[in-house]
Structure 1
Amino acid sequence: MFRLSLPALFALFLGSSTAWGCNSNPPAHAQKLDIGYTEVDPDITLRRMVVHTASPKGTVLLLHGFPETLCAWRDMSLALSADYEVHAIDWPGYGLSSRPLADKFSYSPKDYARVLQDYIKKADIVTSKLTIYATDIGALPALLAALEDPQIARTIIVGDFAPFNRPQYMHDRLQSLKSEPSAAATLAAYKSRTGAEILDTAVRGGLPKEAQFEVSADFKDDVFRGWSHGGMTSADAFYHYYSKFTRDEDYFEANIGKLRTPVKVVWGEKDIYIKKEMGIEFAQKINADIQILPDIGHYAHLQSPELVIEEIRASFR
């Protein structure tokens, strides 16, 4: 019998996902936005955004963190599309991508790495001309994928994540997700609030009042609406990710010598969730350049997108 996935049903009901969240107040040239769905395996359909350009110099793939969706990248994608084709996805468990039960899909960094590899193949992206920019929960999967396939990208830019099991560099709330019973208590606290409320609090974390910023109403609305569907919240996906996080960090650290894909590290100086010392240690271990962004917190791409855009452009020079 023919069955539509839950995201596909959403798309039929809404008419077009471009009308939901990312594009209710379209900036100039937003007609280049193509938001739809890609099935990467029988259990996973990803909502994806592609911004096209006539003669791209390369391709950029943007990977979001918690508690975000692909709408975090709308304006950056449009700016980059002057020269590049730009892709972004909702990770499984976020936005309008699939949310299978955890016994079918673990939501671990290793599972996300497989999803990333499958998406790149499905989208027919030429990896020799690809820069991946990955932050927060998106970064370790990108690096795990690179261990398996060193040709997965021309360059991977990562930042504000935990490549190693170093709880001392992590916020107390993130440390608590690494083991029970504290993980269940933290999950319950997340689930007592809406996604939009969590996003609002998260982006202000550690920043002085004068440096705090607002995210767009479209983005916040997308996080709010997509927070819970199919019986699982994005907080549940985050909880499951962390339940396997230490295992996958340890695997990555044990195999870090096999990493061959060029990597650049970019970190917010004021990040209170994953301290910059984590990024410094990682960059030293792989002998990579690191850019510490002054007065920037955990969400550099939201707080100061022009700095991130410049790092991406520099990767093609």
Structure 2
Amino acid sequence: MRTKISTVLSFVLVVFGFTAMAQRSNAGYQKVVYKTIKVDGLDVFYREAGNPDKPTLLLLHGFPSSSFMYRDLINDLAADYHLIAPDYPGFGSSSRPSVSAFDYSFDHLAAVMEDFIRQLNLKHFSLYMQDYGGPVGFRIAVKHPGWISALIIQNANAYQEGLGTGFKKIMAMEGAGDKAGVENSLKSIISFEGIKVQYTEGANNPAHIGPDAYLMDHQFIKGDENEPIQNALFQNYHFNLTMYPEWQQYLRRHQPPALIVWGKNDPIFIAPGGLAYQKDLKNTEVHLLNGGHFALVEYHAEIAAYIRSFLHRKGIN
């Protein structure tokens, strides 16, 4: 009897030891690391956390933000997933070549991100897209559907129904070739107050929007050197609208599992844009959150829970 008890106890201790070691090892992976690699001659900064043996989430940021926008979500999910969040050229801590040295178009940003993915040897990943992350990410998904395990879409538009009134006016100016009008609109949007309102308008409780978010965005985006970069991308944006049919065809044809988490009070990309994905996707789940364009600030914990549940049910775990 003593021998049996001793054997069982030894087995329990061994299992406990391995479990503790695994937990300690996994805890090490949960710490965010900050890296920069050369891609197409540019320095591309990115945040990484989580065990690379677990499913990967590639987080593509919006305008006028950077990978900083994913700081809370990364911490929420690092125990369960491998997370990578890059800064595009011209944003955050990545290289900012001048407009004379770099073609600031969404085609080019997507091409750099495609090479970034290859350089990191990412074979399959769930793609999280917000705002500018949509036109960058959809270009990659259309070209490489086999890379995509699932889509997580947060206020990233692919339908005419999703265009807010103010956004439509700017797109009309672009289409009419009114460069001065677009430049004046951009100056207002990238001012401190213009960036702040993108976070606070439509928020469930503006007091929950920490100033670090819009202060950081303004710090990265301000300056005479950066304004031409943002203007070039702004002038290029209307081409994305012409690609909506192609992106919708990709969704219909490949039917990627898709989780839609949308700030329903967003005046830029309005709630019908989030619901419109259901027209083409059979395998989708939609959550309209009581927030604005950057709903992730208020709802990162809720969105993390939706992601875990959705990917688990889709067998991505």
Task: Name the TM-score class by shorter chain.
Answer: 0.7 to 0.9
Q: Report the counterpart of residue 301 of structure 1 in structure 2.
A: 296
- 8 Å CA contact 1:267–1:290 kept in 2: the answer is no
The CA distance in 1 between the partners of 2:72 and 2:276, in whole Å, is 32
* Residues 1:203 and 2:203 are matched in the alignment: no
- 1:265-293: CA deviations, max 9, x gaps? 22222222111112222221233423232
Q: Report the counterpart of residue 46 of structure 1 in structure 2.
A: 44
Name the SS of the counterpart of 1:131 in structure 2: strand
The CA distance in 2 between the partners of 1:256 and 1:316, in whole Å, is 18
The CA distance in 1 between the partners of 2:101 and 2:299, in whole Å, is 38
* Residues 236 and 284 (structure 1), Cα distance of their counterparts in 2 relative to 1, 3 Å cut: same
**Which of 80, 105, 128 pairs up with 1:83?**
80
Aligned-residue offset at 1:201: 1.1
Name the SS of the counterpart of 2:63 in structure 1: coil
Q: Report the counterpart of residue 180 of structure 2 in structure 1.
A: 184
User: What amino acid is aligned across from residue 46 of structure 1 in structure 2?
Assistant: V
TM-score, with length taken from structure 2: 0.76
* Residues 1:169 and 2:157 are matched in the alignment: no
The CA distance in 2 between the partners of 1:221 and 1:268, in whole Å, is 21
Which deviates more, 239-248 or 252-261?
252-261
**Which of 215, 220, 224 pairs up with 2:218?**
224
The CA distance in 1 between the partners of 2:39 and 2:239, in whole Å, is 22
The CA distance in 2 between the partners of 1:31 and 1:269, in whole Å, is 31
Q: Report the counterpart of residue 122 of structure 1 in structure 2.
A: 119
Which deviates more, 182-191 or 85-94?
182-191
User: What amino acid is aligned across from residue 39 of structure 2 in structure 1?
Assistant: V
Q: Report the counterpart of residue 272 of structure 1 in structure 2.
A: 267
Structure having the higher helix fraction is 2
The CA distance in 2 between the partners of 1:230 and 1:85, in whole Å, is 37
Aligned-residue offset at 1:33: 2.3
Q: Report the counterpart of residue 14 of structure 1 in structure 2.
A: none
The CA distance in 2 between the partners of 1:108 and 1:214, in whole Å, is 31
- 8 Å CA contact 1:60–1:84 kept in 2: the answer is yes
The CA distance in 2 between the partners of 1:48 and 1:283, in whole Å, is 32
Q: Report the counterpart of residue 159 of structure 1 in structure 2.
A: 154
**Which of 131, 134, 142 pairs up with 1:136?**
131
* Residues 108 and 118 (structure 1), Cα distance of their counterparts in 2 relative to 1, 3 Å cut: same
Aligned-residue offset at 1:303: 1.8
For the pair shown, the structure with the greater C-alpha radius of gyration is 2
Aligned-residue offset at 1:87: 0.9
* Residues 1:58 and 2:52 are matched in the alignment: no
Structure 1 unaligned runs (5+)?
1-27
Q: Report the counterpart of residue 10 of structure 1 in structure 2.
A: none
Aligned residues: 283
Aligned-residue offset at 1:105: 4.6
Name the SS of the counterpart of 1:270 in structure 2: coil
- 8 Å CA contact 2:179–2:235 kept in 1: the answer is no
Aligned-residue offset at 1:65: 0.7
Q: Report the counterpart of residue 108 of structure 1 in structure 2.
A: 105
The CA distance in 1 between the partners of 2:311 and 2:98, in whole Å, is 39
- State the identity as a percent: 22
TM-score, with length taken from structure 1: 0.76
User: What amino acid is aligned across from residue 46 of structure 2 in structure 1?
Assistant: R
Q: Report the counterpart of residue 21 of structure 2 in structure 1.
A: none
Aligned-residue offset at 1:138: 0.3
* Residues 92 and 175 (structure 1), Cα distance of their counterparts in 2 relative to 1, 3 Å cut: farther
The CA distance in 2 between the partners of 1:230 and 1:283, in whole Å, is 42
* Residues 1:313 and 2:312 are matched in the alignment: no
Please tell me the root mean square deviation across aligned C-alpha atoms, in Å.
3.1
Q: Report the counterpart of residue 74 of structure 1 in structure 2.
A: 71
Aligned-residue offset at 1:181: 4.7
The CA distance in 1 between the partners of 2:206 and 2:305, in whole Å, is 21
Aligned-residue offset at 1:226: 1.8
Name the SS of the counterpart of 2:128 in structure 1: strand
